[in-house]
Amino acid sequence: MKQLKGAVLLGQSGGPTSVINASAAGVFLTAIDSELVTDVFGAVHGVKGILNEEFYDMRKEDRKELERLKNTPASSIGSVRYKLADPKKDDTDYKRLLEVFKKYNIRYFFYNGGNDSMDTAHKINEFFKNSGYDCRIMGVPKTIDNDLNGTDHSPGFGSAAKYIATTLMELYHDATVYDTKQVTIVEIMGRNAGWLTAAAALAQAKGQGPDLVFLPEVSFDLDFFNKRVKEVLEEKGKVIVAISEGVKTADGKYIPELFKDLTTDSFGHAQLGGTAAVLADEVGKLLNVKVRPIEFSLMQRSAAHLASKVDVEEAFNAGKLAVEAALNGESGKMVGFKRLSSKPYKMEYVLLPLSIAANTERKVPLDWILPDAKGLSQEFVDYALPLIQGDCKAELEDGLPRFAQLKKVKAPKK
Q: Which residues belong to the active site? A: 145
Q: Are 192 and 270 in contact (CB under 8 A)?
A: no
CA within 13 Å, CB half, 194: 29
Q: Which residues pair with 56 in a beta bridge?
A: 42, 410
Q: Are 125 and 326 in contact (CB under 8 A)?
A: no
Find the Cα–Cα–Cα–Cα dihedral 296, 298, 300, 304, rounded to 10°: -140
Measured CA to CA, the distance from residue 276 to residue 284 in angstroms comes to 12
Measured CA to CA, the distance from residue 351 to residue 120 in angstroms comes to 17
**Side-by-side strand order, sheet with 345-353:** 55-57, 37-43, 6-12, 106-113, 136-141, 333-342, 345-353
Torsion sign (Cα): 178, 179, 185, 186:
positive
Q: Are 388 and 162 in contact (CB under 8 A)?
A: yes
> Exposed e or buried b for every residue in 358-382, given b needs 16+ CB within 10 A?
beeebbbeeebbeeebebbbeebbe
Q: Which has the closest alpha carbon to 165: 131, 191, 204?
A: 204
Q: How far is CA 42 from CA 50, 93, 155, 306, in A?
A: 9, 19, 20, 27
| Cα R_g (the chain), whole angstroms | 22
CB atoms within 10 A of CB 290: 13
> Exposed e or buried b for every residue in 183-201, given b needs 16+ CB within 10 A?
bbbbbbbbbbbbbbbbbbb
DSSP 284-295: HHHH-SEEEEEE
Q: Are 351 and 345 in contact (CB under 8 A)?
A: no
**Side-by-side strand order, sheet with 290-295:** 212-214, 238-244, 182-188, 290-295
